[in-house]
Amino acid sequence: MSPEWQAVWLTLKLAGITTLLLLIIGTPIAWWLARTQHWLRQPIAAIVALPLVLPPTVLGFYLLILMGPDGAIGQLTESLGLGLLPFTFEGLVVASVIYSLPFTVQPLQNAFLSLNENLLEAAATLRASAWDRFVSIAIPLARPGFLTAAVLSFAHTIGEFGVILMIGGSIPGETKVLSVAIFDHVEALEYTQAHWLSAGMLAFSFVVLVSLYTLNGRFQPGVVR
């Protein structure tokens, strides 16, 4: 595989795994944030939103320290026999999940907030347990939210750069994703290669956003067309 295609494949793999993990982790967080009155709701919401406002280098710096040999996560992974996470693909996955968390949680939270409480109550009177109501009513009605969350998380992971540079460096086949490859080409004054990759990213991002807006317009539940 050419180094360019290797970078593309690595980027897609990272974004795919990250999106899947984010949907699994983000759904319960979003459901809790949308429905709780607990005093911890605002602090947790703020923590989830932190990656939106922090410079990626700050996030990357702290993650590097935490996952390093003296950090809490580093000591945990070492004691589990997993080794250290910085400068590995797994390290990138962990960092990406944290970095893109708000892009999953916020659309899901909004989708859950706009659910009609009356429908969940009706389902309860029709013998559906809490889990059953979540699966049979909440998830299908929040489908546009899930679609938005998945697409935004995927696209945002593909576009990340600062965190990856801090945590992963530029190891071909392991951590050298597209954005890093472009940076390396520019550093080496290889503008032709940089152009190809950049134009590809631009086209991809545009297509993703257009499909998202089109699909979300079509999937409004209850709307007759």
Partner 1 sequence: MSHSERIQARFQCHFDKFGLDVDLNLPGSGITAIFGHSGCGKTTLLRCIAGLQTAKGHLSVLDELWQTASHSWPVHQRPLAYVFQETSLFPHLSVRKNLLYGYRRVPAEQRKITPEQVYDWLGLTPLLDRMPARLSGGERQRVAIGRALLTSPRLLLMDEPLSALDQQSKQDILPYLERLRDTLAIPVLYVSHSTAEVARLADHIVMMERGQVVAQGPLQETLARTDHPFRLEEDAGVILNGEIAEVDDRWTLCKVVFDGGELWLRHHDHLSSGMSVRVQVLARDVSISLHEHKDQSIQNLLPATVDHIAREVVPGISLVRLLAGGTPFLARLTSRSVHRLQLTLGGQVWMQIKSVALAD
Q: If binding is defined by CB under 8 A, does position 223 make contact with partner 1?
A: yes
For partner 1, which is the closer residue by CB, 97 or 123?
123
Inter-axis angle of helices 72-79 and 56-67, nearest 10: 40
Structure tokens of 223? 């709307």
Backbone angles phi, psi at 82, to 5 degrees: -95, -5
Name the one range near partner 1 by CB under 8 A: 31-39, 74-82, 175-183, 216-224.
Answer: 216-224
DSSP 134: I
DSSP classification of residue 137: I
Determine the size of the site formed for partner 1 (CB under 8 A): 20
Least distance in angstroms from the C-beta of 24 to partner 1: 23
Task: State the CB neighbour count (10 A cutoff) for residue 133.
Answer: 18
Smallest distance from partner 1 to CB 27, Å:
18
Residue 224 interacting with partner 1 (CB under 8 A):
yes
Shortest Cβ 28–partner 1 spacing (Å): 20
Task: Determine the Cα–Cα distance for residues 89 and 210; give it in Å rounded to an integer.
Answer: 30
Return the residues of window 108-167 that contact partner 1 according to CB under 8 A. Answer: 118-119, 121-129, 132, 136-137, 140-141
Instruction: Report, in Å, the least distance between residue 120 CB and partner 1.
Output: 10
Query: Which residues of 37-162 form beta strands (DSSP E)?
Result: none
Residues whose CB is less than 8 angstroms from the CB of residue 180 and which lie 6 or more positions away in sequence, other chains included = 7, 161, 164, 165, 168, 170
Say which residues have a Cβ less than 8 Å from residue 43's Cβ, sequence separation at least 6.
Answer: none
Query: Which CB sits closer to partner 1, 110 or 170?
Result: 110
Q: Is the Cβ of residue 67 or residue 137 nearer to partner 1 in the bound state? A: 137
Nearest to 64 by CA among 176, 164, 158: 164
Q: Least distance (Å) from partner 1 to the CB of residue 143?
A: 8
Min dist CB 95 to partner 1, Å, is 36
Positions touching partner 1 (CB under 8 A) are: 118-119, 121-129, 132, 136-137, 140-141, 221-224
